[in-house]
Amino acid sequence: MLDLRQVSKTYRVGAFGGRRLHAVRGVDFSVRPGEVVSLIGESGSGKSTIGKMVLRLISASSGTIAFEGADIAGLRGHARTKEYYSRVQGVFQDPFSCFNPIFPADRVFELVRAEYAGAVSQAHWRARVEDALTTVGLDPAQVLGKFPHQLSGGQLQRLLIARALLLDIRMLVADEIISMLDASTRIDVLNLLGDLKARGLGILFITHDLSLGNYISDTAVILRRGRVVERGATSAAFSAPAHPYTRRLLASVPQLHTSWQQADARLAQEGEGECPGCAAGGRPGEHGPVDLADDHAVGCYTAA
Amino acid sequence: MRRVSLDVTDLAVYYRTLRGDVRALDGVSFSLADGEIMGLAGESGSGKSTLAKSLIRMDGRMRRIRGRVELDGTELPVDDQRAMVPFRFHEVSLIPQYAMSALNPTRRIGRMIRELIRSRGIDYTAVHPELLRRLELVGLDAQVLDRFPIELSGGMKQRVVMVLSTLLDPSLLIADEVTSALDVTTQRSVAEALAGFRDRGFITSMIFVTHDLALVHQIADTIMVMYAGRPAEKASSRTVIEAPRHPYTRMLLSSLPEVGVTFSGKRLEGIPGQPPGLLDPPEGCRFRDRCPLAFAKCAEEPPFTEVAPGHWAACWKVEG
């Protein structure tokens, strides 16, 4: 459904744009309907930049991003863009700053109606709003007409997801949507994404938290400095991480029942290992994604 | 029995607002042994940051209602700004959440530290060698002193602030969400460096405030879990993680995803409902509206009692 081919983004930085910053370099992956793909990486890995490019908030410097076969860079004119946004929507990290504090929070629904569904009758629209709210697990009577400060972060974040669902979307870009939420409500929002996936929605889940990425996603894409280090089915990438970087990253994740010392001991026992991609014929230390198995690839850029 | 370094008795701190007092901290008692690292965990609004702030600097809206804080046998005048001055930095020190904004952007790090040390009437040349030694210990070389804060990464700035805060070997260090804004690998090195400070005797004891139980149990000796302004449970880290007694701690732990747990494999459940507002909190146990075990007695406030040696919990259902 969504296909990224050799997508790169270069920023000009410094005085007069003299220096170039390669935020994303040659990234390939795709998202199918009903699939959650998580982009996992540390800060500066380019994960949010990819999300913004998919949402057309910024344009790609090179490469193509195709949605249902059509290159999104080629969408010209208001009507075409609007059509794209009625299929692809985003939800972002901070729910508190997404609302205008002087209006009731459900005004976001009215804005969607004004922009996309002007012809729908009031009663019909109201039914759609209530339906979307029920889907995200909110009681319409409890949230409609409330101001943002009267609602919790979890409720606000779910309102934003409900807003995206009002349109008949196929693809949701979720950029760190639960990092601002409390632990006890976090999991409910994650479960909600899981339920939406079951209804055929494709989700691009951007996170820095490996355990969250592991919980929800079908495919994991591990990024480092704008490049894909490892890509594969979540079960493979997490239970048998191939690239030394992924292994080290996993060993640093704080876990409830494993101490860092135990994780280190395991790493030492298994050995950090060499990149299997280099052994499988890639140019040592500077190869792009090399397939190890079906749906599991590693890239290596240690030499660069 | 180890010496008690910090002793907090029935501390209550309210925030003054136009609509009345917000009871952010309502009767907290605990003690901290020499050399103990206590993780202070809780969700937003649980009072963990209020507790941390109360021990070093109350802001203008905060008011102590009752309670007593003792550090190494001396009472801390926590609500007297002027009387607290001699304690800050020397006895009690803080690492703020955003180390990035704790550093003056217009000064080179070295000059900023020099000015700060001198402002406290301490001879800078006397502490300079120790400063360099400690910077090296956390993996920073002396050149960092000639840099501006903007030239350092988030983790480096956090480490500079860590070294600076503990330079005078304070008795108590409060680390308020210090790792929350960092990447996993940096998070780990910062957390381990802090534990190392305790091992080397730079600090006597530490309160590590965080919302991340998985992280805090890696370095803390004990964990205190707070809920809606009151302590719910305190025990050794291992006990809190492996055998929690309070229903809130249990439900919180079972809602945390771990590497290896997946949505399709095992669906985790959150805690239904949300914490009570603290402007006018309900009588009795504050968790009872969300608690599956709640019964009639929960309308009375459960005491925070020792249910097993070194294990405190505030719940009527937890048998002693």
Give the distance from residue A212's alpha carbon to the nearest chain B alpha carbon, in angstroms.
6
Least confident range from A253-257, B71-75, B128-132: namely A253-257
Give the pair of three-digit tokens for residue A202. Answer: 């494709």
Domain for residue B71, yes or no?
A: yes
This prediction has a pTM of 0.86
Q: What's the mean pLDDT in B249-256?
A: 90
Longest CA–CA span in chain B (Å) reads 65
Domain for residue A103, yes or no?
A: no
Residue for token pair 């460096």: B193
Q: Which residue of B has its CA nearest to A251?
A: B185
Distances in Å between the Cα of A112 and the Cα atoms of A84, A189, B20 are 14, 22, 38
Number of independent structural domains in chain B: 1
Domain for residue A132, yes or no?
A: no
Q: Which of A183, A252, A259 sits opposite B185 (nearest CB)?
A: A252
Please report, for the domain that includes residue A193, its CATH number.
3.40.50.300
Using the beta-carbon criterion (under 8 Å), do A187 and B262 form an inter-chain contact?
no
Domain for residue A80, yes or no?
A: yes
Q: What's the mean pLDDT in B25-41?
A: 93
Task: Give the model confidence (pLDDT) of B40-53 as tens digits.
Answer: 998 888 888 899 99
What lies within 8 Å, CB to CB, of B126 at 6+ separation is none
Give the separation between CA B77 and CA B83, rounded to whole angstroms. Answer: 6
Domain for residue B133, yes or no?
A: yes
Q: How many CB atoms lie within 10 A of CB B218?
A: 23
| Whether residue B1 has pLDDT greater than 50 | no
Task: Give the model confidence (pLDDT) of B169-201 as tens digits.
Answer: 999 999 988 887 788 888 888 899 999 999 999
Give the separation between CA B244 and CA A224, rounded to whole angstroms. Answer: 38
| B158 close to A (CB below 8 A) | no
Give the distance from residue B140's alpha carbon to the nearest chain A alpha carbon, in angstroms.
21
Please report, for the domain that includes residue B10, its CATH number.
3.40.50.300
Q: Which of B213, B217, B261 sits opposite A215 (nearest CB)?
A: B261
Q: What values do phi and psi take at B56, rounded to 5?
A: -125, -45
| B19 close to A (CB below 8 A) | no
| B279 close to A (CB below 8 A) | no
Interface of B with A in 226-255 (CB under 8 A): 241-242, 251-253, 255
pLDDT (0 to 100) of residue A281: 67
The fraction of chain A above a pLDDT of 90, given in percent, is 22
Distances in Å between the Cα of B93 and the Cα atoms of A67, B4, B60, B144 are 54, 18, 19, 22
Domain for residue B200, yes or no?
A: yes
The fraction of chain B above a pLDDT of 90, given in percent, is 57
pLDDT (0 to 100) of residue B161: 92
Domain for residue B314, yes or no?
A: no
Amino acid making up residue A100: N
Domain for residue B301, yes or no?
A: no
Least confident range from A282-286, B126-130, B137-141: namely A282-286
Give the distance from residue A262's alpha carbon to the nearest chain B alpha carbon, in angstroms.
11
Residue for token pair 């370095």: B219
Distances in Å between the Cα of B226 and the Cα atoms of A135, A136, A185, B213, B307 are 32, 29, 16, 12, 17
Domain for residue B72, yes or no?
A: yes
Q: Which of B192, B258, B270 sits opposite A211 (nearest CB)?
A: B258
Question: Do B76 and B5 contact (CB within 8 A), yes or no?
Answer: no
| Whether residue B273 has pLDDT greater than 70 | yes
Domain for residue B157, yes or no?
A: yes
Least confident range from A94-103, A286-295, B9-18, B92-101: namely A286-295
**Owning domain of residue B187:** 4-220
ipTM: 0.80
- Residue B2's pLDDT band (boundaries 50, 70, 90)? low
**Owning domain of residue A14:** 2-87+168-300
Give the distance from residue B248's alpha carbon to the nearest chain A alpha carbon, in angstroms.
10
Gyration radius of chain A over CA positions: 21
Give the separation between CA A22 and CA A223, rounded to whole angstroms. Answer: 13
Give the pair of three-digit tokens for residue B53. Answer: 């702030």
Q: Which of B154, B183, B274 sits opposite A208 (nearest CB)?
A: B183
| B184 close to A (CB below 8 A) | yes
The fraction of chain A above a pLDDT of 70, given in percent, is 98
The per-residue pLDDT of chain B, averaged, comes to: 89
Domain for residue B135, yes or no?
A: yes
Using the beta-carbon criterion (under 8 Å), do B185 and A42 form an inter-chain contact?
yes
Residue of A179, A256, A262, A266 to mutate when probing chain B, most B C-beta within 10 A: A256
| B185 close to A (CB below 8 A) | yes
pLDDT (0 to 100) of residue A303: 60
Task: Give the model confidence (pLDDT) of A159-186 as tens digits.
Answer: 998 998 888 899 999 998 887 777 777 8
Residue for token pair 């979540």: A234
Number of independent structural domains in chain A: 1
Phi-psi region of B3 (alpha: psi -120 to 50; beta: other; left: phi over 0): beta
- Residue B223's pLDDT band (boundaries 50, 70, 90)? very high
More confident residue, A76 or B199: B199
Domain for residue A145, yes or no?
A: no
